[in-house]
Homo-oligomer: A and B are copies of this chain.
Amino acid sequence: MSTQKRKIIAISGGVGGAKLSQGLAQIVDHKDLTIIVNTGDDSHHYGLFVSPDIDTQLYTLSGKADLGRGWGQKDETWNAMDALRELGEDIWFNIGDKDLGTNLLRTMRLAKGQRLTDITRDFAQAFGLEINVLPMCDEPVSTQLKCSDADYDFHDWFVAAQTKPVVKEVVFRGADEAVMTREVTAALADPSLAAIIVCPSNPYLSIAPILSVPGYREALRNTNAPVIGITPIISGEAIKGPTAAMMQTFGLPVTASSAAALHADIFDGYILDARDAAELDTFKATNPDLAVKLSDTLMVDLPAKQALAKAALDFAETLS
């Protein structure tokens, strides 16, 4: 009796990736769905350990996310931040009051020596999720931006400096000492794994930190499951965030083709946006080893998220 291949892994950053996670959650049995999430944005604010991409996934999948704002919870209040402002603090990194609860508990449990993986699993369960949300690793990995004017911690650059300083190099401090968790290793090695979907997250800031942890790149290259990438670039622009600006800085054409090429070694197939059909020949020339498919990747609403998820899984099936 052959093992039915039904398990799905998504590899994701925050908002953009969570949209696709939400789409996958519509069509994949939750027990069969694993999301491996970037923790390179994790950092300390107000003495708390924040893990923005993990929380974006948890909040989005459990229906708590403020999808308009793009981070944090809906129906949120901001009284703690206002109190800090009144006390004279310069508050540029906002944490809502509900969100503080999450961050207080995570910080407390980490201080007790618990693993981020265990904490995240318990949070997911408390939010009623059966989806397996896994941090990329349990060790702290800190994304650092070496820019033309100075070096920045991730949120100093992303939030405080609004991504304006020109990035010369991205460094994932701590990645060399990080290891794939046993949960990630088991998920990637699962014989019933049908597909690995790399979400349309920022290739430099969301996908690269995951690949910087020793073992990921090899595991994704060597897995029997098809690895499907999805473009973060549509018609020469990023849906959101600094992907396009960074590609320009690094001298790349702002195209799906060059975005795919950044991590082409891990992909078996890649989805371009249907608006970029004219780019297909360029894509094949740039990424000769990758299968390619066109789809609507904009994910404007839940049906669109579900449709892209289905397109990715169907594409994977053709490659398995």
- The distance from the CB of A99 to the nearest CB of chain B, in whole angstroms, is 7
Contacts of A108 in B (CB 8 A): 46-47
Contacts of A122 in B (CB 8 A): 87-88
Which are the 8 A-B pairs with shortest beta-carbon distances?
A83-B101, A79-B97, A97-B97, A80-B100, A80-B101, A84-B101, A79-B98, A83-B98
A: interface residue count bin? 20 to 34
18 residue pairs A–B, Cβ–Cβ below 8 Å:
A47-B104, A47-B107, A47-B111, A76-B79, A77-B77, A77-B79, A77-B97, A79-B100, A80-B98, A80-B100, A82-B98, A83-B100, A83-B101, A86-B101, A86-B126, A86-B127, A87-B102, A100-B100
Complex Cα spacing A79 to B100, Å: 8
Number of copies: 2
Contacts of A46 in B (CB 8 A): 104-105, 108
Q: B104, A79: Cβ atoms under 8 Å?
A: no
| Dominant secondary structure of chain A at its interface with chain B | helix
Across the two chains, which residue of chain B brings its CB closest to A85? B101
Q: B80, A97: Cβ atoms under 8 Å?
A: yes
Interface set, chain A 54-112, CB cutoff 8 A to B: 76-77, 79-84, 86-89, 96-102, 104-105, 107-108, 111
Whether A123 is near chain B, meaning CB under 8 Å from some CB there, is yes
Which residue of the partner chain, among B82, B87, B101, B127, contacts A82 with CB atoms under 8 Å?
B101
Complex Cα spacing A101 to B89, Å: 10
Give the most central of A83, A88, A108: most B CB within 10 Å: A83
Which residue of the partner chain, among B96, B97, B126, contacts A87 with CB atoms under 8 Å?
B126
